[in-house]
Structure 1
Amino acid sequence: MQRNPVGKLLLFGATGDLSQRMLLPSLFNLHADGLLPEELIIIGSARGELDDGGFQEFAHHALNEYLPDERKDEEQITGFLKRLQFQPADLSDANCFQALADKVGDVSGGLCIFLSTAPSLFEPAIKGLKSVGLTGDTVRIGLEKPLGYDLASSRQINEAVFAAFPEPRTFRFDHYLGKETVQNILALRFGNSFFEPVWNARGIANVQITIAETVGLEERAGYYDGMGALRDMVQNHILQLLALIAMEPPARFDGQAVRDEKAKLFHSLRPITAEEAEHDTVIGQYTSGAMKGEVVKGYVDELGKPSDTETFVAIKAHVDNWRWQGVPFYLRTGKRMATRRSEIAIEFKPVPHSMFQSRANKNEGGRLQPNTLIIRLQPEEYVQLLVMAKEPGLDRNGVRLREVPLNLSLDAEFAGTRRRIAYERLLLDFIEGDQTLFVRRDEVEAQWAWIDAIREGWAANGMKPKKYPTGTWGPSASIALTERDDVTWQDD
């Protein structure tokens, strides 16, 4: 793809937590590695009265706190800070945008605007930018979630954005798509010939996608209680992972072909009806318990008020097309769970006949286990294939078969390569204009339509979150969700 880098980056929310932990360190790393355009100016904006020098001092503190020690090169940091400018702005105040435009100046060399704000402020922000000429043909906009609370609000935001920025200049961020292991799903599927013949309902029994967190509310109480696990994690991250696993092979690795196939997949997701919601979904909310030897509060105690917001959700989903007919996709995410883990487990169908059965040791290793492909995204990054192998020995008392792992550890295999923050990949592509790893409007709206149907089913059935103790794998009902199909969650 032809790259078209811009000369300026406007960073809204520049003093927020996301900026300190992810955006500023990512931009510095790109600068230190010589990947940013030499002339690129980064203009931070947020509420407050910082000036250029104050923002540079703020950024310096953030880099000292969040960069790993081996990246803290003062000469490089000084060079990066020289790129930084600042202009205060309150997006709810229409009068702030002219001063912002004056600070940004000429945009004929290209401008990227990164907009991270509450859904209610997207429309006034876009109108304000348009009123001062910051939405022209040389300007791109990057949108950080949440992009609405449901399909209606998402469409409202998308319409407001589209009034100033057509789709080719709109970049919707999902940081999971910037993770190396997530991109490796595409390499694994479409760069190797041996998976494709069995990557379908004839070869795969079920797929499990888990994003488990050990943290609670942290500093996100107000936001999270209005969203819940379904909208916060399933609507975006988990459904994007599902699309990469299940979509048809794109003709090319570019922004149109990849996103065309993901959009088709989302439209093939079987809607979960109100009748099915009670049986095919489980919601939970964590109570007090122990984490790392310490007693921690339950959700309601952390929040400080009663709430029916779900902190855990498990779903049995189906994709209604030829490739996946009859294959269940088990989706699961939750807070305060037993371990921090993001992974995809693909269980293949068993061999049709075991030739070892008559000679197998009845007490040890006699039963064949189905092959399972595990793609671990975090905290470790690896691809593991579980296969059956014969244990060494003379076998006078019977053949012993055992499940063993074939491992590809990305950390070990690419030990000489620095592991990058997901936002590094996405910010670089944003600055250069490559939309491949960004989410298109039709994807977002199809995802919301599927999520809204589930929430309507919860409401119709009067479903309330089931309690689960902190430090566990969620409500016991989530175990029943899979065991009804003789499937066990991959919790090892």
Structure 2
Amino acid sequence: MQTCDIPGESFQVEPFTLVIFGGTGDLSRKKLLPALFHIYLGNELPDHFSILSVGGSNLEDDSYRILVERALRGSDEVCFSEEKWAEFRSRLFYLSGNLEEEETYRRLCSRLDQVLVPTREGHRDVIYYLAIPPQTMPIVVNLLNRHGLCRGPLDTKIIVEKPFGRDLASAVRLNRLLTSAFDERQVYRIDHYLGKETVQNIIFFRFSNSIFEQLWNHRYIDNVQITVAEDMGIDNRVRFYEQAGVIRDIVQNHILQLIGLIAMEPPVGFEADFIRDEKTKVFRSLHPMKEEQVDRFTVIGQYGPGKVQEKEVPGYRQEKGVSPGSTTPTFFAGAFYIANWRWAGVPFYVRTGKRLARRITEIAIQFDQPPLRLFGRTCDVLEPNVLLLTIQPEEKISLRFGVKVPGMPNQIYPIDMKFSYRETFQSPPHPAYERLIQDCLKGDLTLFVRQDQIEAMWEAVDPIISCWENQPPPNFPNYAAGSWGPLEAKKLLEQEGRRWITG
């Protein structure tokens, strides 16, 4: 197998302490702790490390270890090993306390003195992971700073989960708060989509294959489509979702990050800031929408009752905890345009929603049709060439092109040439959180979101959110669960002579 070595700094993960605020919550139990244990199974953690969870549950170290063991045994993302668990559990500790009270942070200082293991150079490396509700995050950061736990004698990093604010103004305040306590290089804003193998591979695919890079512009690409579809409802996220809605939850971060990777210019190198610089340029080049453009180029929706995978499911307003008259959107479709030479005039169609026909995240790059029709009137409607980058549920890449049907005069049949990660490498891809945690341990910021990116992405979606929220309440629900969303989303492309490819 041919390999390509990208120049980079050699590294060895030093002893560290990971402090998880919210260590008994869903994110910790379902994602973070299984990812950490899986990394440990692969012998990719140092000999000396500790994990200290902080939360409101009344637990001791041993009772917390029982909770973690139960979570790991029930996880689909890790193969449980009794031998490794006996080693891993001794690194787990718990501090019970109210995250909003000063006393918790005084006790945290003492507990860190007990569990910290210095590096060979005598440094004390601490990583804070804020697996907590967004409204609690400013309180935790302020109290960490007040008790001298951000800089000074500790070498710290902080991992922050989305949402990064709820609009541009709040994002600026949040960034100001974080950088008052930490340097920007210490802040790891996590978007788990960026940890998925297929998402990471977009850069490699584009810039290591000249056959595609030469075509990657408005001369040969007709449109780009990004679908992030979920067949599930809102589960236990009612409180968050009622305040956020689909644009803040998915479009402002996941989808715009995918646009950035597809549309960015080649970076001058593979260092973190070189790549993040190019994505930021894309976000700043997005056409800001005025009210009339929001009406013309975007669609919102909310699901009603329907059937998903042959099972009857309630509408959004019938979900437990949702207001019967809620106008929170669960679906968004829109067309974004990038004002630069490479992408002038190329629409980037995006579509995302809850309770859609199936779970799939996919990027479709549709190429232009040939300028002349050479095969007679029977072939007036030709399938365009399409490059599909499927991110989930199966991670794969496929290219659609036309071939002649044997024995048939002038009849063209579209086929897909496919590459599957699982089939080619004979192993499932690593979970996104595993890669991102490892990168944080190494100090690699490439797959994390920078402050200026956050603010540029909010600048792109704020006018859309503001316009829809200031209009009279829409006629919700306007699509059935188990469908592909409102009819207007289909018309959004049909009015330009196009159609959705993923479906």
Q: TM-score, normalised by structure 2?
A: 0.93
Distance (whole Å) between structure 2 residues aligned to residue 183 and residue 465 of structure 1 = 39
**Native 8 Å contact 1:277 1:454 kept in 2:** yes
Q: Is the 8 A contact 1:274 1:456 kept in 2?
A: no
SS at match of 1:474: coil
Match of 2:86 among 60, 78, 97: 78
The corresponding residue for 2:340 is 321
- What is the alpha-carbon root mean square deviation over aligned residues? 1.6
Decide whether the 8 Å contact of 1:266 with 1:443 is kept in 2.
yes
Counterparts in 2 of 1:135 and 1:5: CA distance versus 1, 3 Å: farther
Which of 61, 64, 81 is 1:55 aligned to?
64
Instruction: Show the counterpart of 1:292.
Output: 309
2:149 is aligned with 1:134: yes
1:121 alignment partner in structure 2 = 136
Contact 1:4 1:433 (8 Å CA) reproduced: no
AA aligned to 1:113 is Y
| Distance in 2 between residues matched to 1:434 and 1:68, nearest whole Å | 24
Paired with 1:11 and 1:119, the residues of 2 have a C-alpha distance of 15
SS across alignment from 2:461: helix
Calculate percent identity across the aligned residue pairs: 39
Q: Is the counterpart of residue 476 in structure 1 residue 487 in structure 2? A: yes
Q: Does 1:170 align with 2:187?
A: yes
Instruction: Work out whether residues 426 and 437 of structure 1, in 8 Å CA contact, stay in contact via their aligned partners in 2.
Output: yes
AA paired with 1:317? F
SS in 2 for 1:35: coil
> Which residue, 447, 465, 468 being the options, matches 1:455?
465
Residue of structure 1 equivalent to 2:125? 110
The answer (yes or no) to whether the contact 1:94–1:124 under 8 Å persists in 2 is no
Deviations 1:13-47 (A, max 9, x none): 11000111110100000000011122111111111
Please give the alpha-carbon distance, in whole angstroms, between the structure 2 residues aligned to 1:403 and 1:489. 16
User: Once the 2 structures are TM-superposed, how far is the Cα of residue 63 of structure 1 from its aligned partner?
Assistant: 0.2
Tell me the distance in 2 between the aligned counterparts of 1:208 and 1:58: 42
Does the residue aligned with 2:157 lie in a helix, a strand or coil?
strand
Secondary structure of 2:299's match? Answer: strand
1:35 corresponds to which residue?
Answer: 44
SS at match of 2:485: coil
Out of 169, 184, 191, which is 1:152 matched to?
169
Task: Identify the residue that residue 346 of structure 1 maps to in structure 2.
Answer: 365
Distance 1:35 1:191 in 2: 28
1:439 maps to which residue?
A: 449
Spell out, residue by residue over 1:66-117, the C-alpha distance to the aligned partner (whole angstroms, 9 max, x if none).
1457x12111122221211111232222221110121112573311111122
What is the rounded CA distance, in whole Å, between the counterparts of 1:368 and 1:470 in structure 2? 32
Paired residue secondary structure (2:459): helix
CA distance in structure 1 between the partners assigned to 2:218 and 2:431 by the alignment? 35
Alignment counterpart, residue 192 of structure 1, candidates 198, 205, 209: 209
CA distance in 2, matches of 1:33, 1:41: 17
**Secondary structure of 2:342 counterpart:** coil
Q: Which amino acid aligns with 2:482?
A: G
Structure 1 length-normalised TM: 0.95
Q: How many residues align?
A: 482
- 2:405 aligned with 1:391: yes
Query: For structure 1, which runs of at least 5 residues remain unmatched after alignment?
Result: none
Check whether the contact 2:301–2:486 (CA below 8 A) recurs between aligned residues.
yes
**Which structure 2 residue ranges, 5 or more long, are not aligned?**
1-7
CA offset at residue 355 of structure 1?
2.8
Conservation of the 8 A alpha-carbon contact between 1:116 and 1:145: no
SS in 2 for 1:87: strand
Q: Secondary structure at the match of 2:418?
A: strand
CA distance in 2, matches of 1:315, 1:187: 27
Deviates more, 1:72-81 or 1:156-165: 72-81
Question: Do residues 179 (structure 1) and 196 (structure 2) align?
Answer: yes
Q: Does 1:489 align with 2:495?
A: no
Secondary structure of the 1:198 match is coil
Deviation above 6 Å: which 4+ runs of structure 1?
A: none
The Cα shift of 1:437 comes to: 0.4
Code of the residue aligned with 2:112 in structure 1: it is V
